[in-house]
Amino acid sequence: MRVPLHWLQEFVDLDYSPQELAERLTMQGVAVEAVERMRPECRGVVVGEIAKIEPHPSSRGLSVVQVQVPEGTFQVICGATNIAVGDKVPLALPGSVLPGGKKIEVADFDGVQSQGMVCATTEILFGKPHLEGEGVLILDKSAPLGEDVISYLDLEDEVFVLDLTPNYASCLSVLGVAYEAAAITKRPVRNPLKLHPDVARGLSGVSVTIEDAELCPRYAAKLVRSVEVGMSPPWMQWRLHMAGMRPINNIVDVTNYVMLEVGQPLHAFDFDKLGNKIVVRRACQGETIVTLDGEKRELSPEMLLITDSHRPVAIAGVMGGLDTEVTLDTKTVLLEAALFKPASIRRTSGSLGIRSEAAIRFEKGVDPSIQPLAAERAAQWIERLGAGIAVPGVVDEHPNPLRPKTVSLRLDRALEIIGVQIPKPEAISLLQSLDFEIRDHGDTLAVTVPARRVDIDSEIDLVEELARTYGFENIPATSLRDSTVPGGKTPEQTAVDQVREFMMGCGLQEIITPSLIGPGDLKRSGLEAEIAHSIRLANPIVEDQSLLPRSLLPGMLKVMAYNIAHGSNRLKLFEIGKAYFAKSLPLQELPDERLKLSIGATGEQFPVHWDNPRRQVDFYWMKGIVEALMARLGIDAGFVQSHETQYHPYRQALVIAGPHTLGSIGELHPDIQSAWDLPSRVLVAELDLDLLLELRKMNRTCQPIPRYPCVERDIAFVVGESVPFGQIAKAILEAGRPLAVEAKLFDVFKGSWVPEGKRSLAVRITYRAEDRTLTDSEVDSVHQQVRKELIERFGATLRS
């Protein structure tokens, strides 16, 4: 909503500077986004008087006009026919500039010099060529010669640009804003509708039938005869322009003007093209109408129509029909001021894609009490402009008249909710300043709500009115008085933080990727089968963001690809994010949202440095991180060979703990690596973090520090390379039971002297007894057991 201040001042005295008032309105809830100073941008156009009119010597239809200004007489060539000697007109002097920057110069018209231009309204207000049939603007006889026309017309004004929240439907009119301003200035409002509150009911020759009173609770109509359609005066056109509307003609302008004034949308029909029986009904299936904008509209039964006895003439509250539009030939006008159900208008305007000013007001809620008054007001304006004569009386179909709303307010409770102490008389006067009527019943106040405040229904609404007129800035800042509560994170939330800290400690950068991905991302990640398991949006913006997946891998790879393409060559990343598991598809109930930990790395393990080894990340690097995390969480995890398509077939593993699969780790399959344009090997891991949190060991008891020293023995042997080390390590510990407590692989060698198909392993075995220092012979004998086991079980050849 845009509110010109001179207009606002017609209804209330303002007393404050525009900036100050804007600030106060904002702090009262009516947000003034900007204060704009507006004036038609024309310079050098002054009041002149026609001194002489002669036909152009050679060009038919043009006149040579002498225009008098204090500086002298200017000769201009003019095509208009509505001027006479003695008329005062706007004269654009040579060198003057019209809005939009058009410069007026001395020109030659077929051998006759034109020293400027006499102007039409459209030219001086908007800098556009005058309309067909639009003559020169004839100013009042009293206009002082030589005065700047814009100053003379008093068009310059300041405009409040409001950024209204949906509850301020009542501020979609200058009058409504005047009531808000009045609550600040404490001045009375001059409500133009209260000037003639009694409208004669009934209007012969017009009947209105409302077939659906739920969608149309009220319909008022008013006739204006002897209409002369033309331009509305400059001040009205300019006000409409400042308020953001386009002037059309005097009749349509008046309907828009009254809508902006009092908030009631009006429509003007050409009565002679309309039958005298108006029926408000729902559309039939397949019915169509051509609207004012020339579009043919398909209608459906949920839409409400205004019809004459034969056909639709308007889509109720949204847009009128072209057939019954007011034209230059219109002689009689029927003015409609109706009330429609907001939700219905919202649906209709939404499905037709018509966001008209009328629809915007109807869907937010219009004052239900003013329909006949607004129709009457519009008829008066037409009369005042000399554009027609109002036919006395008004039709007012109103099947279920509304009673004024009264809401009861417990003042003590209201003040307690706000947290302020305001004396009762002051509180009452705050509410009265907003035009509420108060009856004091002691403990409660009976508050009668002005009909235009469609947003007020309940006590809490009044609490808000009280708080905002008292001023949020005057409310103190206090502390919660409740008994204190512990607050903070749950153990699970803390554990998630710890996992994050641990990942950071491993040198990984956290990322947060979009949870919406596309089928292409899954396909590119080797997870094509996941597309069918992913939750799909019904109305995605783009296909690339249409799925909620069960895996964080595509998001991880996308980030890696982006960073590699932008010059990074080593990446060590992790994400803690959600994966979405539908219980069934299409979705019947909410899916399981599980936290996952995703890790991804590519490039060198260590930053480039003169003293760092230059080694790429590999499976064991990734496994080391996962093992360390498991140890940190106290989860006894193992790794088993897996067969997932996204990974290198021989470099991948499931991470398991007892019966649970915790996730997987692996080197990305080279095909997928190249699909994402990743130049080096990529290691990824994805773990079910929720499951890790469930399985983590919470209460640890302290283990005593060993009291007796351990003995370490190294053992080196050659064994078939297909024998998994995991089995060997297990066998060592079993054979060395109970003294062997740890078996660490510290060397692996293949090739050279090692026979084809075999590898040489070196293991450091730790022996320890809890209750004594081990003797050499004790260790020797256990170690011998271990050697024997390696030979017998794995066919190992011992080297030491």
Partner 1 sequence: MEEQILLLKQEAINAFSAATKMEELESLKAKYLGRKGQLNSLLKRLPTMPQEVRPTLGKLLNQVKSDLENVFEEQTARLRRAELQAKLESEKIDITMPGLPFDAGNRHVLTAITQEIIDIFSGMGFEIAEGPEVETDQNNFVALNIPKDHPARDMQQTFYITSEILLRTHTSPVQIRGMRARYPRLPVRLIAPGTVYRRDQADARHSPIFHQVEGLAIGEGVRFSDLKGTLLVFARRMFGPDTVIRMRPSYFPFTEPSAEVDVSCTVCKGKGCRTCGGSGWLEILGSGMVHPSVIRNGGYDPERVTGFAFGMGVERIAMLKYGIDDLRLFLLNDIRFLSQFH
DSSP string for residues in 253-299: HHHHHHHHHHS--EEEEEGGGS-SEEEEEEPPTT-EEEBTTS-EEE-
Q: Which stretch, 43-51, 126-134, 483-491, 697-705, contacts partner 1 (CB under 8 A)?
A: 483-491
Tokens of 496: 């998630």
Q: Give least dist CB 718 to partner 1, A.
A: 36
Select the residue interacting with partner 1 from 506, 657, 741, 774 (CB under 8 A): 506
Distance in angstroms (rounded) separating the CA atoms of residues 325 and 267: 9
Residue type, 715: I
Q: Give the number of residues in contact with partner 1, rule: CB under 8 A.
A: 94
Select the residue interacting with partner 1 from 482, 756, 771, 776 (CB under 8 A): 482
Contact status: 516 vs partner 1 (CB under 8 A): yes
Instruction: Find the distance separating the first CA and the last CA of the chain, reported in whole Å.
Output: 92
Q: Which stretch, 46-54, 146-154, 233-241, 488-496, contacts partner 1 (CB under 8 A)?
A: 488-496
Contact status: 617 vs partner 1 (CB under 8 A): no
Tokens of 159: 């405009």
Q: How far from chain centre, in Å, is Cα 197?
A: 42
Contact status: 480 vs partner 1 (CB under 8 A): yes
475/745 with CB nearer partner 1: 475
Mapped onto helix, strand or coil, the DSSP state of residue 65 is: strand
- Say which residues have a Cβ less than 8 Å from residue 587's Cβ, sequence separation at least 6: 535
323/367 with CB nearer partner 1: 367
Contact status: 509 vs partner 1 (CB under 8 A): yes
Q: Give least dist CB 133 to partner 1, A.
A: 41
Mapped onto helix, strand or coil, the DSSP state of residue 414 is: helix
Contact status: 610 vs partner 1 (CB under 8 A): yes
532/748 with CB nearer partner 1: 532
394/517 with CB nearer partner 1: 517
Select the residue interacting with partner 1 from 241, 377, 572, 759 (CB under 8 A): 572
166/659 with CB nearer partner 1: 166
Select the residue interacting with partner 1 from 461, 528, 618, 778 (CB under 8 A): 461
167/448 with CB nearer partner 1: 167
Select the residue interacting with partner 1 from 85, 200, 402, 537 (CB under 8 A): 537
Q: Which stretch, 241-249, 328-336, 500-508, 660-668, contacts partner 1 (CB under 8 A)?
A: 500-508
Contact status: 514 vs partner 1 (CB under 8 A): yes
Select the residue interacting with partner 1 from 66, 515, 680, 766 (CB under 8 A): 515
- The burial class, CB within 10 Å (0-12 / 13-18 / 19+), for 438 is middle
Select the residue interacting with partner 1 from 591, 600, 603, 736 (CB under 8 A): 591
Q: Give least dist CB 210 to partner 1, A.
A: 21
Distance in angstroms (rounded) separating the CA atoms of residues 458 and 162: 26
H helix runs in 526-668, sequence order: 553-565, 619-633
Q: Give least dist CB 579 to partner 1, A.
A: 11
Q: Give least dist CB 447 to partner 1, A.
A: 16
- Say which residues have a Cβ less than 8 Å from residue 335's Cβ, sequence separation at least 6: 221, 222, 223, 224, 255, 266, 267, 268, 375, 378, 379
Residue type, 281: R
Q: Give least dist CB 549 to partner 1, A.
A: 13
497/714 with CB nearer partner 1: 497
Tokens of 646: 């996204």
Q: Give least dist CB 578 to partner 1, A.
A: 7
Contact status: 507 vs partner 1 (CB under 8 A): yes
Q: Is the link from the previous residue into 57 a cis peptide, with omega within 30 of 0?
A: no
Q: Give least dist CB 216 to partner 1, A.
A: 17
Distance in angstroms (rounded) separating the CA atoms of residues 436 and 92: 52
112/418 with CB nearer partner 1: 418
Contact status: 463 vs partner 1 (CB under 8 A): yes
Which of 471, 473, 456, 457 shows the shortest CA–CA distance to 426?
471
Contact status: 460 vs partner 1 (CB under 8 A): yes
- Contact map string, positions 276 to 305, toward partner 1, x by CB under 8 A: ------------------------------
Asked whether 338 and 220 are in contact (CB, 8 A), the reply is: yes
Select the residue interacting with partner 1 from 444, 563, 680, 766 (CB under 8 A): 563
Contact status: 476 vs partner 1 (CB under 8 A): yes
Residue type, 785: Q
Distance in angstroms (rounded) separating the CA atoms of residues 155 and 139: 14
Q: Which stretch, 119-127, 211-219, 375-383, 529-537, contacts partner 1 (CB under 8 A)?
A: 529-537
For the segment 308-347, give every residue that binds partner 1 (CB under 8 A): 342-343, 346-347
Q: Give least dist CB 588 to partner 1, A.
A: 8
Which of 34, 67, 37 shows the shortest CA–CA distance to 53?
67
Select the residue interacting with partner 1 from 5, 12, 14, 28 (CB under 8 A): 28
Distance in angstroms (rounded) separating the CA atoms of residues 733 and 740: 6
Distance in angstroms (rounded) separating the CA atoms of residues 335 and 699: 81
Distance in angstroms (rounded) separating the CA atoms of residues 297 and 239: 32
Contact status: 19 vs partner 1 (CB under 8 A): no
562/746 with CB nearer partner 1: 562
- Say which residues have a Cβ less than 8 Å from residue 776's Cβ, sequence separation at least 6: none
Contact status: 503 vs partner 1 (CB under 8 A): yes
Tokens of 731: 């066998």
Q: Which stretch, 5-13, 585-593, 728-736, 757-765, contacts partner 1 (CB under 8 A)?
A: 585-593
Asked whether 269 and 249 are in contact (CB, 8 A), the reply is: no
Residue type, 660: H
Neighbours of 38 (CB within 10 A): 15
Contact status: 416 vs partner 1 (CB under 8 A): yes
Q: Give least dist CB 681 to partner 1, A.
A: 18
Residue the block writes with tokens 């054979």: 735
- Say which residues have a Cβ less than 8 Å from residue 735's Cβ, sequence separation at least 6: 785, 786, 788, 789
Which of 402, 336, 346, 399 shows the shortest CA–CA distance to 369?
402
Select the residue interacting with partner 1 from 273, 364, 758, 787 (CB under 8 A): 364
Q: DSSP state, 513?
A: -
For the segment 165-194, give every residue that binds partner 1 (CB under 8 A): 165-168
Contact status: 571 vs partner 1 (CB under 8 A): yes
Asked whether 560 and 602 are in contact (CB, 8 A), the reply is: yes
Contact status: 607 vs partner 1 (CB under 8 A): yes
Contact status: 513 vs partner 1 (CB under 8 A): yes
Q: Which stretch, 468-476, 614-622, 677-685, 792-800, contacts partner 1 (CB under 8 A)?
A: 468-476
Residue the block writes with tokens 């599980």: 594
Residue type, 27: M
Q: Give least dist CB 28 to partner 1, A.
A: 6
